[in-house]
């Protein structure tokens, strides 16, 4: 009888121990899993940025085998406190690398993002944040629309007579509004005539004796490369004289000081077009970039154009064209410097000494176009 009692007690003890072992194992299963390797996530690169989308390349640096989910948080709030969105990766590449393409973004907007992973315990681990800016939509602001010479009303809407500073400049011609006329067909003519007696000297350096009446116009709109308008196009069709003593020009010059200056078209008594850029600290300390181009049938109609754009916070580049062919690229320190746009028929000076010019000369202009852009195409 005692033997039966001992056996019964032994069986009860065995069953009780077995039950405790099983319960311990089940408790371990439902508790936190030990993840020995730390998980680290990083940003590889950002690419494919458009007006409304961007592709982000990321990777798990370590602990990839313990990652259950990976993706990014993103939004326009740098602190990720408001309007934060979540994007989860659906495809991984190799050892933890993945990419995400974000769409339906707002153009011209800075987005902040940071990668995340979720481990087997459901804990989120974040990487460093970064940002990108979607492309700004290209918008043109047309200041002169190629039809400014179609009527007198249009001419006066976009242009003023003479130079911005008055009637005199660096040649032997004095400017008068009567020497500017419209010919119809959106064409403007500037005429220069020798006067029978002098009117004294020019009021501008080098103070030449006045021998001609001529004409000049300047655009009412100033030109200035800024962060808001970093790209400009200036263009026009011209028929110019090329005889000694004639000095037609299509140019921009500093509105507040000289230099700066850019000559898009300048002829000085022959068939060579001079395209110049003048930079410097003041008029006594200048540097010149000069590109002379021989133009076939220079007295016929030709198009002269400049594309003018920002290259840094202080520097610009200007691409100079004749008939659609780029003849030069000049670089200068012209950011945030306002310019006047001028069309004029000066005489003698750089094109010939006093008395060397013709009795008369004329130039014709049409299709002058001036526009800025809010971004660089």
Catalytic residues: 261, 266
Say which residues have a Cβ less than 8 Å from residue 295's Cβ, sequence separation at least 6.
Answer: 271, 272, 273, 302, 322
- Residue 347 β-bridge partners: 246
Distance CA 147, CA 142 (A): 12
* Strands 246-254 and 339-347, bridge-based pairing: antiparallel
366 to 142, 147, 148: CA distances (angstroms)? 16, 8, 8
Dihedral sign computed on CA atoms, order 171, 173, 178, 183: negative
First to last CA, the chain: 103
**Total Cβ atoms within 10 A of residue 219:** 22
Give the separation between CA 234 and CA 343, rounded to whole angstroms.
Answer: 12
């Amino acid at each position: 009888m005692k033997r039966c009692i001992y056996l019964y007690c032994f069986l009860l003890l065995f069953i009780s121990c077995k039950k405790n072992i099983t319960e311990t194992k089940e408790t371990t299963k439902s508790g936190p899993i030990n993840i020995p390797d730390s998980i680290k996530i990083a940003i590889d690169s950002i690419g494919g940025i458009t007006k409304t989308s961007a592709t982000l390349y990321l990777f798990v640096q370590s602990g990839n085998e313990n990652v259950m989910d990976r993706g990014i948080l993103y939004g326009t709030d740098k602190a990720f406190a408001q309007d934060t969105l979540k994007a989860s990766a659906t495809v991984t590449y190799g050892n933890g690398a993945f990419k995400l393409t974000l769409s339906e973004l707002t153009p011209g907007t800075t987005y902040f993002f940071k990668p995340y992973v979720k481990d087997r315990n459901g804990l989120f681990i974040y990487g460093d944040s970064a940002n990108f800016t979607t492309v700004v939509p290209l918008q043109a602001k047309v200041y002169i629309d190629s039809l400014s010479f179609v009527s007198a009303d249009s001419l006066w809407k976009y242009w003023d007579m003479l130079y911005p500073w008055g009637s005199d400049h660096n040649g032997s011609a004095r400017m008068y509004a009567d020497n500017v006329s419209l010919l119809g067909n959106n064409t403007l003519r500037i005429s220069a005539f020798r006067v029978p007696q002098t009117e004294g000297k020019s009021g501008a350096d080098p103070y030449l004796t006045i021998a001609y009446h001529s004409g000049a116009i300047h655009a009412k709109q100033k030109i200035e490369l800024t962060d808001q308008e970093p790209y400009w196009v200036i263009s026009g069709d011209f028929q110019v004289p090329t005889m000694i003593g004639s000095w037609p020009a299509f140019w921009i010059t500093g509105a507040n000081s000289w230099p700066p200056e850019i000559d898009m078209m300048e002829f000085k008594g022959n068939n060579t077009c001079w395209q110049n850029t003048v930079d410097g600290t003041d008029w006594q300390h200048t540097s010149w970039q000069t590109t002379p181009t021989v133009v076939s049938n220079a007295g016929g109609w030709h198009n002269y154009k400049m594309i003018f754009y920002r290259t840094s916070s202080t520097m610009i580049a200007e691409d100079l064209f004749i008939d659609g062919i780029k003849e030069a690229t000049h670089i200068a320190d012209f950011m945030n410097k306002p310019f006047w746009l001028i069309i004029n028929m000066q005489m003698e000076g750089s094109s010939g000494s006093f008395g060397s010019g013709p009795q008369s000369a004329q130039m014709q202009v049409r299709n002058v176009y001036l526009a800025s852009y809010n971004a660089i195409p």
